Structure 1
Amino acid sequence: MGLLGFSLMLLSMLQIVASQQVTDPNEVEALNKIISHWNLGTKLNISGVDPCTQNATWAPDSANPQIACHCAGTTCHVTRLSVPPSSFSLYFLYTWWCTRFGSI
């Protein structure tokens, strides 16, 4: 009975691990590039954590910055990245404006 109980426990643990929802790796890579490009690493650190983790500090609607996701089956997709305007320096905004619309 001990071996059967252990086997059933191991099988149920494998089912739990196999059914965990994870974010699409391409979206995680893109999100990391955005965070790096915008220098948001101190405000939004997703290193080693799935960005669509439900209990993460950036998951609640009140979080600022916020990452929102939609999960279906075992795959999650980032649906929103909300970043406060105060996170960007004037230099960044000036550079963005100049590359988009030309010099001021």
Structure 2
Amino acid sequence: MEVIVPILVQLVGGGVGGNVIGQIAKSLNIGTAGNTIVGAIGGIAGTWLAGMIPGLDGLVGAAAGAAGTAGGLDLGALAGQGATGLVSGGILTAIAGLIKSSMAKA
């Protein structure tokens, strides 16, 4: 359970980030399902990448999960993973939207 919760936080954060970008920048919108799926993938990938950067590894917690001292989950690490997932999901959705837009013009 301790490994599943951080992954779910990253997936949800990424999906939300993807949909926020799709709503803010209409030219980058790839549809609700596309925004959610690409954002969720970006949430997982971005949090994994952020964990490899010195200085950010403490913010996002351990890659496999952030266990607290009493066997519970570290809420600070989960918040960091959610925020990282939100941003990286938005970024990957924006990239996918740019690619879709440029292909539609060609």
TM-score range, shorter chain: 0.3 to 0.5
**Structure richer in helix, relative to its length:** 2
TM-score where L is the length of structure 1: 0.34
Higher-Rg structure is 1
TM-score where L is the length of structure 2: 0.34
- Higher RCO, 1 or 2 (CA under 8 Å, sep at least 6)? 2
**Structure richer in strand, relative to its length:** 1
